[in-house]
Homo-oligomer: A and B are copies of this chain.
């Protein structure tokens, strides 16, 4: 149980107004609508259809909402507390992370195999059965279990790499000889993963061929993605599950790559663009545009 006053203190910069008798309240957690009861925090999504009705009928005593919800007699009569904030979705995320998400103390599991020349920062977690080459890993990064990170990899701070991810394997480039034999093109570049990146389960990020594969800071890559050699991804970009990013693709900042989409080699995706789910991108996509389909075509501008 967490004192509501402590939660209010934590989010005070975001609060517009508090109504109702919040002193002395204790909160058990956050939950979905179905499981919420009076001891849980409830919150109204900004896109909710009937925010006022949602707030009045909530099983919870404490409602976090934006200014679309007002504290009326019904809420007052029920002894509810209304915490008005600018962005309830963001506020509940911050509350959940701070008070209700389990935080594990970082450990280096004894079964992890770590190269003696690896440079591991402070408070780094390395999970069971992970294999760490003579790479660099920044402070506060979490490497889960069964992850492989090879010699050629540099990882920043606060990076989160989920189980089964494979970072720094040699890429896939072949030159055909006259007799049809496929000769491997050397794959001797690096992987650079900047601060605050997240990498999903069973995702592979291959090393560069002659240059480097680079993931910009704050970018989030989801499960089962493939990031090929020489790919360069900007900052605060979202790569959703099963995305297939072929060799030498460049993706800008603040881009959203939809689930199971395919980017063929050497394409450039501009800043603030959106690639729809299942799209197959065969051409460069300018900044601030939404492209969808197979083959992907311009759908509309993306105003930001």
B175 contacts A93, C-beta separation under 8 Å: yes
The stretch from A65-73, A76-84, A159-167 touching chain B is A159-167
* Interface of A, helix, strand, loop or mixed by DSSP: loop
Asked if A87 and B223 sit within 8 Å, CB to CB, the answer is no
Q: Which of A19-27, A49-57, A117-125, A257-265 contacts B (4 or more CB under 8 A)?
A: A257-265
Smallest CB gap from A90: residue in B:
B175
Tell me if B278 and A280 are in contact (CB < 8 A): yes
Q: A111-B113, A218-B181, A254-B180 are in contact. Are A30 and B186 (CB under 8 A)?
A: yes
Instruction: Give which listed residue, B131, B148, B180, B211, contacts A34 with CB less than 8 A.
Output: B211
**Contact in complex: A183, B238 (CB < 8 Å):** no
CB distance from A161 to the nearest CB of B (A): 11
Asked if A200 lies at the interface with its beta carbon under 8 angstroms from chain B, I say yes
Residue interface mask A90-103, B partner, CB < 8 A = 1: 10111011001110
User: Out of B148, B174, B236, which one reaches A146, CB within 8 Å?
Assistant: B148
Contact with B along A169-213 (1 / 0, CB 8 A): 110101111001111111111000000001011101010111100
A185-B96 contact in complex given A174-B238, A277-B282, C-beta closer than 8 Å: yes
Which residues of chain B have C-beta atoms less than 8 A from A31's C-beta? Answer: 210-211
Known: A32-B209, A277-B282. 10 other contacts (CB 8 A): A90-B175, A129-B131, A166-B202, A169-B223, A180-B254, A224-B224, A240-B246, A241-B246, A246-B259, A262-B277
Chain A residues with a Cβ under 8 A of chain B: 29-32, 34-35, 87, 89-90, 92-94, 96-97, 100-102, 111, 113, 127-129, 131, 144-146, 148, 162-164, 166, 169-170, 172, 174-177, 180-189, 198, 200-202, 204, 206, 208-211, 218, 220, 222-224, 226, 228, 235-236, 238, 240-242, 244, 246, 254, 258-262, 264, 277-278, 280, 282, 293-295
